[in-house]
Structure 1
Amino acid sequence: MKQNYENYTAEDQKVWKILFDRQFPALPQAATKEFLLGLDRVSFNGEAIPNFEKTNKVLRELTGWEIYAVPGIVEDALFFDLMANKKFPATTWVRKMSELDYLEEPDMFHDVFAHIPLLANQAFVDFLQAISKFGQEWIDDEWAIHLLSRIYWFTIEFGLIREEGELKIYGAGILSSSGETKFSLSDEPNHFDYDVDKILDTPYRKDNMQENYFIIDSYEQLYESLPEIKSKIEERLKAKEAAV
């Protein structure tokens, strides 16, 4: 499918502006500098819903990635196949005015505003592509995919990074939520240094703010942890088989 930009209504554009203008003021202090740089590079603002075609021209030049329009949440196999080939799946629909504060399924504000700016960072997208290739390899093993989803959840969706001694946000699940932006950086939740073993042993919830957040020191650290991720998941798969 494709983004039919001319089909966006005045209300769609208004919802985008409300969401952008509500979230953006907190980001210069809360978000990773790489997100802010990426936001500028792809020229996102509150005045208009992003045009995928224009954004893709920029992304292809920067990292070789692009946005790939999908109708909604896609199956794991397609999800991993797309990202293994440098295509980030994103919905094209915008929530209704009555759904400004809560959605069961992510809309394009989450998919595009919160995810796409970091696709301008090479180490980040190299990590994303690599774990997607792991997903392709393990697609028929439900337990392996579940473990890999914990890595994705606590990094790509709900990750924090330490920059110049301060906690900053890079996870899209946080960056698209004004409430979780404040909560994740507060003293209320648990903050842990990035630890592959601990992440693989930590369940997560989709229906509430997170209790646990993991902190990286750089995007290069994520990329360099790939061999450990693969070996640790393989260890758990072997242990599971031996226990049967």
Structure 2
Amino acid sequence: MCRQNGELKAYGAGLLSSFGELEYCLSDKPEKRPFEPSKTCLQKYPITEYQPVYYVSESFEDAKQKMIQFAATIPRPFSVRYNPYTQTVEILDSKPQIQSLVREINCHMQVLTDALVKLS
């Protein structure tokens, strides 16, 4: 759930596809807690009834930032990056791959440095 212009809104296929649960989640019956990914991921839910707890984010941007911070705490033996050209998340797990990315970033930095020089 998310606040939008001060109003509580329901988002997501699960809630929006069930009129009964949509009505229930917007009522005063379930508990509503602030969205905290580290706690949200531990919450157990029954599968035969409506959720007893819903998590509320102050905005989509707030939820996104909290998820980014939470993901950074997950231990893993590799790094990841978002590739805007292919719109994919790439796993950085080999030295040649990382060296290639460094070369690419250096090329971008050269273009930006050149642009700054021309503006001076």
Normalising by structure 1, we get a TM-score of 0.29
Identity of aligned residues (%): 33
CA distance in 2, matches of 1:194, 1:215: 5
Q: Which amino acid aligns with 2:49?
A: N
Q: Answer yes or no: is 1:166 the counterpart of 2:14.
A: no
Say whether the 8 Å CA contact 1:196–1:229 is kept in structure 2.
Answer: yes
**Structure number having the greater strand percentage:** 2
Residue 183 of structure 1, CA deviation: 0.3
Say whether the 8 Å CA contact 1:192–1:214 is kept in structure 2.
Answer: yes
**Structure number having the greater helix percentage:** 1
Q: Could you tell me which residue of structure 1 aligns to residue 39 of structure 2?
A: 198
Say whether the 8 Å CA contact 1:196–1:228 is kept in structure 2.
Answer: no
Q: Answer yes or no: is 1:181 the counterpart of 2:36.
A: no
CA distance in 2, matches of 1:217, 1:208: 26
Aligned partner of residue 75 in structure 2, secondary structure:
helix
Q: Could you tell me which residue of structure 1 aligns to residue 63 of structure 2?
A: 222
What are the within-5 Å matches in structure 2 for residues 60-79 of structure 1?
none
What are the within-5 Å matches in structure 2 for residues 223-238 of structure 1?
223-234=64-75
Tell me the matched-pair count: 76
Say whether the 8 Å CA contact 1:189–1:210 is kept in structure 2.
Answer: yes
Residue 165 of structure 1, CA deviation: 1.7
Residue 178 of structure 1, CA deviation: 0.8
Say whether the 8 Å CA contact 1:161–1:215 is kept in structure 2.
Answer: yes
CA distance in 1, matches of 2:22, 2:41: 24
What are the within-5 Å matches in structure 2 for residues 110-189 of structure 1?
160-189=1-30
CA distance in 2, matches of 1:207, 1:231: 33
Which of 1 and 2 has greater Rg?
2
CA distance in 1, matches of 2:49, 2:74: 26
